Amino acid sequence: MLDDVRRALASVVAVPVTPFDQAGEVDERAYTTLVSRMVSAGVGALTPNGNTGEFYSLSAAELRRVVTLTVEAAGGAAVIAGVGHDAGRAVELATEAARLGAGAVMVHQPVHPYQSEEGWAAYHRAVAEAVPDLGVVCYVRSPLVGAGALGRLVGSCPNVVGVKYAVPDPVRFAELAAEVPEVTWVCGLAESWAPFYWPGGAKGFTSGLAVIAPELSLALLERLRKGDAAGAMDVWRRVKPVEDLRARHSNGNNVSVLKEALAQLGLCRRDVRPPISPLPEPEREEVAVILRSLRLTVGAA
């Protein structure tokens, strides 16, 4: 099973949004449709309850339900469930994910104002030791995490099989990937950065774009795998407007842009939960322009 997770990470790792219905509850039908749409397009790895899925605004019951829905709709795709909060709750979520049928967990960067490198490793070790048969992926968003602590974690917990690296520093990424080659390294900054992390050792990349245009994410992956730098950059230029708009307002638009696009495509509502907010009208129009440029139309599937 761990080798299956390693292979799944070497691909497009899609992070689904969590749609909400008119009453503000998780829209299970819309969520299942979005997952099935990605899997049908060829996406082979899914991370429910990621940041793009509004992890921190979901209740414990909703987190469990989203994992269940993903497992049910995933077909042969790997399910890598997001877990986090304090160490005890991260362990509980990981244990629950294993019970619900996930093949791996992605551990969110600990949310704490004071962190040490060894403390970061201890946090992840607690999760990994609680689910020894489950693959564990570290989500690194801090430059504090270095090869020493990461290497010791991997050495003591063989089920730590991947690193989702989301620090915008391709040089540092390449150094870490070379120093800790035992894991599968994933560009955690999506399509915007994937072509620049690939030469440094990335084998896959995360994607929110895959929720609206999975074919484009997969096209980028194919070109990167073939070493077709020019072709990869052609795809990169096509999708860059989406990623630029998502990154606006210090990434405050990250989820809202995707949900707005999905709403315009007739696939789910645009609703998000605080502290995120829906896009204002001018940015909604920008999304419409982008969708037309990508030849995505209302009701596309």
Other Cβ atoms closer than 10 A to 281: 8
**pLDDT surpassing 70 at residue 298:** no
Tokens, residue 83: 């877990």
- Indicate the average pLDDT of the chain: 97
pLDDT digits (tens, 9 = 90+) for 244-290: 999 999 999 999 999 999 999 999 999 999 999 999 999 999 999 99
pLDDT digits (tens, 9 = 90+) for 42-51: 999 999 999 9
Listed residue (47, 43, 100, 105) closest to 75, CA to CA: 43
Amino acid at position 266, single letter: G
The DSSP bridge pattern shows strands 45-46 and 78-83 to be parallel
Check residue 13 and report its DSSP letter: E
Percent of the chain residues topping a pLDDT of 90: 98
Average pLDDT over residues 172-180: 98
Other Cβ atoms closer than 10 A to 1: 13
Q: Identify whether the C-beta of residue 269 lies closer than 8 Å to the C-beta of residue 20.
A: yes
Backbone angles phi, psi at 46, to 5 degrees: -130, 135
The pLDDT value given to residue 297: 73
Helix (H) or strand (E) holding 184, with range, is: strand 184-187
CA 248 from centroid of its chain's CA atoms: 19
Helix (H) or strand (E) holding 147, with range, is: helix 147-156
pLDDT digits (tens, 9 = 90+) for 94-138: 999 999 999 999 999 999 999 999 999 999 999 999 999 999 999
**pLDDT surpassing 90 at residue 300:** no
Other Cβ atoms closer than 10 A to 117: 15
Predicted TM-score (pTM) of the model is 0.96
The pLDDT value given to residue 301: 37
The pLDDT value given to residue 62: 98
Backbone angles phi, psi at 165, to 5 degrees: -100, 115
The pLDDT value given to residue 188: 98
Tokens, residue 229: 């730098």
pLDDT digits (tens, 9 = 90+) for 55-72: 999 999 999 999 999 999
C-alpha 261/C-alpha 34 separation (Å) is: 12
C-alpha 26/C-alpha 44 separation (Å) is: 23
Q: pLDDT grade, residue 1 (50/70/90)? A: confident
Tokens, residue 17: 């949004």
Domains detected in the chain: 2-226 (3.20.20.70)
Residue with tokens 């709750």: 89
Backbone angles phi, psi at 27, to 5 degrees: -85, 95
Question: Is the four-CA dihedral 239, 243, 246, 248 of positive or negative sign?
Answer: negative
Catalytic residues: 139, 164
